[in-house]
Amino acid sequence: MNEDKGPQSRAKTDGSIVLEDVTYSYGTHRVLNGITTSISRGEFMLLVGSNGAGKSTLMQIIAGEVAPDSGRAIMRLPGGCVQSPRYTRNVAFLPQDLQDPPFMTVREIVSLARFLPGRSLGWRLTDDDKALVEECLSHCAVDRLADRTFAQLSGGEKQRAWLAFTLAQQRDFILLDESFRSLDTESRSAMFNALCNLADQGKGIVLVTHDLDLTQRQVPRVLLLRDGRLCHDGPPSPVWSSADTVADSAAQPAALPEHQTGPDDRGPIATL
């Protein structure tokens, strides 16, 4: 990998999503309470916490799918601020438990990510679109499954197909809610390395996970939610010793290998 970190450092000045004192409730139950944080382009961040801590709700607010009861979510740009949901054209969000389209093929699903409103060619894919779709299929190791329908895929294969769909949108920010949970160790390792590369290329990435090994060794920044409050935002070491996070992750998957920064550790990567 190129030693020059210029693109990553420059990307962090191009824009960031900022949450300011965000609260949210379901009826009388307060799910999020006074959340203030940010995610910049070129940054890879993990979001962890026990079940019911508010992680998925927080991701929905970042993605602009849910409006906070109070506070705000904005995109801070060099020329000013854009408030949610207007900035969501720059965000790709992969939530939990998407409903599978059983009779569509993997290639058809990933191709849908390139159909953008207002394009002069309407619903026709350009040659560049088609090339990008094939890159994303290969990148997520579903190229050999491209002509299969979702009904013919395993749980992990479906997860990789949805990841390819998310990458093919080419958004500045990528939000993934437990998108590694059905992947085997090899696939998780490959996808983690791919996300690291995307952050190096200037994408802002947030991954919800229960994999404590990932939080301990692989990323410089972890957010820990507990009872709707942000109780840690920084390096991962304190998260590792969090009792409720450890208890919630007792059945964590096998450890990922140590992340390397050499030129050949991540394999081929689509320039997204």
Q: How confident is the model at residue 264 (pLDDT cuts 50, 70, 90)?
A: very low
pLDDT by residue (tens digit) across 133-172? Answer: 999 999 888 999 999 999 999 888 998 999 999 999 999 9
Average pLDDT, the chain: 80
pLDDT at residue 268 in the model: 35
Question: Which residues, 6+ apart, have CB-to-CB distance to 76 below 8 Å?
Answer: 15, 16, 17, 18, 38
Q: Residue 63: its pLDDT value, please?
A: 92
Beta bridge partners of 173: 91, 204
**Does the pLDDT of residue 11 top 60, yes or no?**
no
- Place 239 in a pLDDT band, splitting at 50, 70 and 90: low
| 83 has pLDDT over 80 | no
Q: What is the pTM of this model?
A: 0.79
Residue 221 has pLDDT above 70, yes or no: yes
pLDDT for residue 236 is more than 70: yes
Instruction: Give the pairing type, strands 229-234 and 204-208.
Output: unpaired
Backbone angles phi, psi at 25, to 5 degrees: -135, 145
Measure Cα distances from 193 to 28, 209, 258, 264 in Å.
41, 15, 10, 11
pLDDT of residue 88: 79
Which of 8-17, 125-134, 204-213, 227-236 shows the highest mean pLDDT? 125-134
pLDDT (tens digit, 9 = 90+) per residue, 87-132? 778 899 999 878 889 899 999 999 999 887 666 555 688 899 999 9
Neighbours of 72 (CB within 10 A): 15
Query: Of the segments 18-27, 73-82, 233-242, 243-252, which one has the largest average pLDDT value?
Result: 18-27
